Amino acid sequence: MKLPATYNNTILDKIFQKFPILGKILSTLFGALELPFLEFFRRIDTRFHIESMEFLNRRILKGRWGGRVIPLNINLYPETCFSPTEEIIEIIKRSNITGISYCYCRNIQRSTSTPNCDHPLYTCIHVGFGKSLYEIPMKSENLKKVSKDEVIQLLEECDERGLVHQLIYFPNPQFYYVICNCCPCCCVLLSKFLKQGSPQMIKSEFIAITDDSLCSKCGNCIEWCYFNAREFHKDSLMLNIEKCFGCGLCISKCPNKAIKLKRKSKYILQ
């Protein structure tokens, strides 16, 4: 999976690629401090009515902290081949899951105001030590196989509920410390991205393609596309490739199973 150009050329990121343990350590430390970090800036924003987190991410972190969208394998076209870094269940199988905790964003929203949604609180999947996507293809065969059926069941339930699967990363999109299932009404990352384009969110390598012969033009996919990538134009369903994040949520909401994910690069070449 290609990274934004920002992360391909810097000396720092080349060091992380050569010595993944450095990125994993930083990811682990940042993950341990994430909740007080979020709470500190939330209080500043509430007190002074500013967007301090947006400024921090744009000017200081410069996108080194954010979310990387990853879809479920069940949504892909049958002929599509994916790597273990491109599909959420494969990543789960290759991660040392330590447990599931409550979602900070939904918990804070409900404790300070009327609940925005009825999505479950316990949806954040934690890994014991920061993980590197650089190492997954290389070391996946040697990892101990551990049953993660409950975690996979949670992911499938979140998919049905319309939650976006994200790897929360630091210090660049190749290193993650928690796997979140996010809603646009509560999630700090997703809601701020949709409103302001910040903090940074990375698209998956897929786009959601519709089979027109199966589409009934019911409009469900438009309603469930948080990124506004779908719309009707002269009675035809149109897809804006630039806006599509390849999360696959429109697929679970399509009554005719007319939508599937296809690798972006191959679709564009066609």
- Residue 125 DSSP class: E
Q: What is the pLDDT of residues 236-266, one digit of tens each?
A: 889 999 999 999 889 888 999 999 988 887 6
Q: Cα separation of 99 and 33, whole Å?
A: 17
DSSP string across 186-241: T-HHHHHHHHHS-SEEE--SEEEEE-TTT-----HHHHH-TT--EEEETTEEEE-T
Residues 197 and 214 in one domain: no
pLDDT at 138: 53
Q: Cα separation of 22 and 175, whole Å?
A: 10
pLDDT at 142: 46
82 and 76 in contact (C-beta within 8 Å)?
A: yes
Residue 95 pLDDT exceeds 50 = yes
Q: Cα separation of 258 and 55, whole Å?
A: 41
60 and 169 in contact (C-beta within 8 Å)?
A: no
In whole numbers, what is the pLDDT of the chain averaged over residues? 84
Mean pLDDT of 157-185: 92
Residues 160 and 236 in one domain: no
pLDDT at 143: 38
DSSP string across 130-167: EEETTTHHHHGGGSPP---HHHHHHHHHHHHHTPEEEE
**Cα→Cα distances 53→37, 172, 191, 203, Å:** 10, 17, 12, 21
Residues 31 and 149 in one domain: yes
pLDDT at 148: 74
Residues 20 and 52 in one domain: yes
Examine the fold and report which residue of 202, 217, 252 is the final residue of a domain before the chain moves on: 202
Task: Collect all residues with Cβ–Cβ distance below 8 Å to 31 and sequence separation of at least 6.
Answer: 126, 130, 168, 170, 177, 178
Q: The whole model's pTM is what?
A: 0.85
pLDDT at 144: 37
The rounded radius of gyration (Å) of the Cα atoms in the chain is: 18
Residues 53 and 179 in one domain: yes
Residues 44 and 69 in one domain: yes
Residues 176 and 216 in one domain: no
pLDDT at 67: 92
**Residue 183 domain boundaries:** 5-202
Residues 119 and 196 in one domain: yes
| 249 token code pair | 């949520």
Q: What is the pLDDT of residues 186-238, one digit of tens each?
A: 998 899 888 887 667 899 989 999 998 999 999 999 999 999 999 988 778 89
pLDDT at 101: 85
Choose among 187, 69, 215: nearest CA to 230: 215
Number of domains, the chain = 2
Residues 57 and 177 in one domain: yes
Residues 21 and 147 in one domain: yes
Residue 141 pLDDT exceeds 50 = no
pLDDT at 146: 42
Residues 122 and 251 in one domain: no
pLDDT at 97: 83
pLDDT over 70 percentage in the chain: 86
Residues 132 and 157 in one domain: yes
